[in-house]
Structure 1
């Protein structure tokens, strides 16, 4: 992309409208319908960041380039108050060696990647007996100290689900399995990747050591390799299976990450803004088109379409959070920095790019009229109403911390965990038509919220701040 002062100024002015230009609900509906047929902004964002930046692991130079790129994109497309809000983090990188080989009794290589925050093996690797656990609970049940000198293999039974609900249950193999193995005195752990594809691509992702464990080498093997390994256990008889594992991740110490923010400025600055969130970082092994380049494109496009239909009543703020993959560090930093700034409602897009099929809020009981109005407005896009209470995406910590209003626009996750944290998370997996449906639904919902005068959480009048007392 090329940016000039003239083009930036012209684009900014094109999005500055007066109260007389304010669009009513019909204009929002028309903007959403047009987005369904012809939106190009979301594609422009995800195509641009995956092509011109690529993989962008938190705390690295690549993530810094992603933040610079995003700031320029937002400025070019008429957002105001664009900024990079830096924060410090401890940064782990994967290294350039990741090898796993069954050495007996059925010698062969396995495709493996380190898990985030894994320790390194000694140079040349470690070789030890491999002990199989079919579930997290089975590993949890063995006595402390019972795995001294052994390598754990941890499996699970994750399946495809439209709402991604299996991830929360079977993701324990990755989130907590390495910590449990370390506390049982294992020398290392390899897990069956937390995913649903059968390509020979391991799924990486972070693991949480906490204060209870000293990190050990922790890797994930691909699902086909996991299935092969489990067949080996079924037929090994009395023979032990031995594995040689070599990985060289390392910690860089303290580096900078950051959150990128921008705004479509509303007519009434006293009304709490609508916060649209995504995350800008990805893992090192893919350009992060599904996770979460598309999500960032969706929120930016929706904000732009609402602005193009007339200056909204409330400010729309976009948050491109940094360092989400490695532990929601950006989301936490944003909440700490802005906790005293009330948010009217928060929404996040971080579940790929396939169509939205369900609408949820956490104010269905406290503001039923608004909930139903939004539900009715998106039904024409194939989005169903729901009684499930929205809990919000990972980068909405500030809204949860404030006890505020949250909406979840649930995407079809059938394909998501085929791609999640793998080298297959590439631009060609994004379906432009489904991406446009996302933008259309978001435009409709954000347009309603950004022009809502009353409290979104309760439907009541927003109280006026008390006068300042002077001594």
Structure 2
């Protein structure tokens, strides 16, 4: 899970560099032809039982993550691994028989990670585990040395007197709360996004944050940050939660000086690619049910849970649906988005490229919060969708998935299409331990549990299948 735009869990926190509210203005949404309430035929309900049985017996999702993380590894946009991931995804889709498999170009800024090192030099020398934040400018190879000034929160930093941090390193120490729905991320990640600009306004030479994570490991969490126009860009890094605790204790006893080396920085603009493939419907091929995940990852680990798991759930769901005796009525589109971590650039490019087709998108969902299990299903109800939502919720009960309160499903890469009016179903993946390894070197294949990702695949495949077979529309009457 990267940082989302203005919609969804991560979107609320990020205020992404590619503002989805602006993109939404580009989407010329056509009026959805009122086809009446969505209804799910009995044959589809019977087929979903077989779909779940096959998924729980071995969905194939683990094998997808194993292949991606072993054959490609980390997938930072602009790197050779990124290009290898695009080729891997194209081949995977073609091998499983998807149609119209193609790539879609995504232009974006380039960025490189280099040497990262931090150490406390007074009162007693000791190393500090640090990772640069994405888009951070560098200190240069020589680094900087300065006094550390602690703030309990981003709000406290913003309240500091102007000029009070001149020549110093600002340190934001807010811990992240552990929650099943991942809601603790929203408050904590704000310091990562806005911290550098806030610190620069006070004169700071650099900023460090307590890692946005729920672990107690000496592995720092990276993630994207943002600079503001007209505000000095200063180096930004995250220290591990363990080192944050040590730094807190030292600062309670007196002044602390730190040396910070972040030999990182921006590169020339690059072009990466989203990968798209369809399982064509036999009766309504122009009506699209879309399943999204993001192909890119941060570079510290191998991107297994973020978002290799989502890629695997998407591809495994499509393969399971393709293997059913009953033929799909609508088209299932798998979109493996580029550059989600760096600011949902792939989502922006996809939304702009498909603006004219927005009214043909029946329903969308995405997987970008780890392996699961799926514990909750949500889809905003209306007069047309009410009956179908109840039917979907009923089919998910054997998987121990509850129906959540009525409300918009959260989305990241599907944000532009949701802004255009596409209904979004949320299949809530359990995030209780997700942020222990999110954006760290520990995001590796050994974190993937087969039965858990099989259950998640069963849930996603069920909702996708029922949406593909449903008659009518999930959109509210008269919706645009």
- 1:388 and 1:186, CA in 2 relative to 1: closer, same or farther beyond 3 A? farther
Contact 2:295 2:307 in 1 (8 A): yes
Higher relative CO (Cα under 8 Å, sequence separation at least 6) belongs to 2
- 1:145 and 1:388, CA in 2 relative to 1: closer, same or farther beyond 3 A? farther
Shift of 1:373: 1.0
Partners of 1:213 and 1:364 in 2: CA distance: 45
Q: Is residue 299 from structure 1 mapped to residue 314 from structure 2 by the alignment? A: yes
Question: For residue 189 of structure 2, what is the aligned residue in structure 1?
Answer: 171
Partners of 1:289 and 1:129 in 2: CA distance: 37
- 1:426 and 1:365, CA in 2 relative to 1: closer, same or farther beyond 3 A? farther
Q: Is residue 63 from structure 1 mapped to residue 79 from structure 2 by the alignment? A: no
Contact 2:113 2:263 in 1 (8 A): yes
Task: Give the one of 230, 233, 240 matched to 1:215.
Answer: 233
Q: How does 1:392-471 map to 2 (within 5 A)?
A: 392-458=410-476
Q: Is residue 276 from structure 1 mapped to residue 296 from structure 2 by the alignment? A: no
Question: For residue 28 of structure 1, what is the aligned residue in structure 2?
Answer: 48
Partners of 1:65 and 1:380 in 2: CA distance: 39
Contact 1:183 1:212 in 2 (8 A): no
Q: Is residue 315 from structure 1 mapped to residue 315 from structure 2 by the alignment? A: no
Question: For residue 466 of structure 1, what is the aligned residue in structure 2?
Answer: none
Shift of 1:45: 1.1
Shift of 1:461: 10
1:300-345 Cα distance to aligned partner (Å, 9 max, x none): 1112212211321110000100000000000111001111112111
Partners of 1:324 and 1:345 in 2: CA distance: 20
Question: For residue 25 of structure 2, what is the aligned residue in structure 1?
Answer: none
Task: Give the one of 348, 352, 357 matched to 2:370.
Answer: 352
Question: For residue 39 of structure 1, what is the aligned residue in structure 2?
Answer: 59
Contact 1:454 1:462 in 2 (8 A): no
Other structure's SS at 1:272 match: strand
Partners of 2:43 and 2:388 in 1: CA distance: 19
Greater mean alpha carbon deviation, residues 167-176 or residues 363-372: 363-372
- 1:23 and 1:260, CA in 2 relative to 1: closer, same or farther beyond 3 A? farther
Contact 2:384 2:474 in 1 (8 A): no
Structure 2 unaligned residues grouped into runs of 5+: 1-41
Contact 2:377 2:425 in 1 (8 A): yes
Contact 2:384 2:473 in 1 (8 A): no
Contact 2:133 2:237 in 1 (8 A): yes
Question: For residue 68 of structure 2, what is the aligned residue in structure 1?
Answer: 49
Q: Is residue 248 from structure 1 mapped to residue 263 from structure 2 by the alignment? A: yes
Question: For residue 4 of structure 2, what is the aligned residue in structure 1?
Answer: none
Q: Is residue 89 from structure 1 mapped to residue 105 from structure 2 by the alignment? A: no
Question: For residue 116 of structure 2, what is the aligned residue in structure 1?
Answer: 98
Q: CA RMSD in A?
A: 1.7
Other structure's SS at 2:170 match: strand
- 1:235 and 1:273, CA in 2 relative to 1: closer, same or farther beyond 3 A? same
Shift of 1:462: 11
Question: For residue 468 of structure 1, what is the aligned residue in structure 2?
Answer: none
Task: Give the one of 205, 208, 217 matched to 2:223.
Answer: 205
Contact 1:354 1:434 in 2 (8 A): yes
Question: For residue 12 of structure 2, what is the aligned residue in structure 1?
Answer: none
Question: For residue 16 of structure 1, what is the aligned residue in structure 2?
Answer: none
Other structure's SS at 2:424 match: strand
Shift of 1:429: 0.6
Shift of 1:249: 0.5
Question: For residue 380 of structure 1, what is the aligned residue in structure 2?
Answer: 398
Contact 2:321 2:465 in 1 (8 A): yes
Task: Give the one of 306, 313, 327 matched to 2:343.
Answer: 327
Shift of 1:38: 2.3
Partners of 1:273 and 1:430 in 2: CA distance: 30
1:247-287 Cα distance to aligned partner (Å, 9 max, x none): 11122211111110000000234652001000000011111
Other structure's SS at 2:120 match: strand
Partners of 1:177 and 1:251 in 2: CA distance: 18
Shift of 1:388: 4.2
1:28-57 Cα distance to aligned partner (Å, 9 max, x none): 2211222112222x1121110000000010
Contact 1:25 1:448 in 2 (8 A): yes
Contact 1:364 1:387 in 2 (8 A): no
1:183-220 Cα distance to aligned partner (Å, 9 max, x none): 22210011100001111100000001132423211000
Instruction: Figure out how many residues of one structure are paired with residues of the other and give that number.
Output: 436
Question: For residue 111 of structure 1, what is the aligned residue in structure 2?
Answer: 129
Partners of 2:121 and 2:133 in 1: CA distance: 22
Shift of 1:364: 5.2
Shift of 1:58: 1.5
- 1:300 and 1:461, CA in 2 relative to 1: closer, same or farther beyond 3 A? farther
Other structure's SS at 1:176 match: helix
TM-score, normalised by the number of residues in structure 1: 0.90
Contact 2:321 2:461 in 1 (8 A): yes
Shift of 1:365: 6.0
Contact 2:54 2:320 in 1 (8 A): no
Contact 1:345 1:399 in 2 (8 A): no
Question: For residue 10 of structure 1, what is the aligned residue in structure 2?
Answer: none
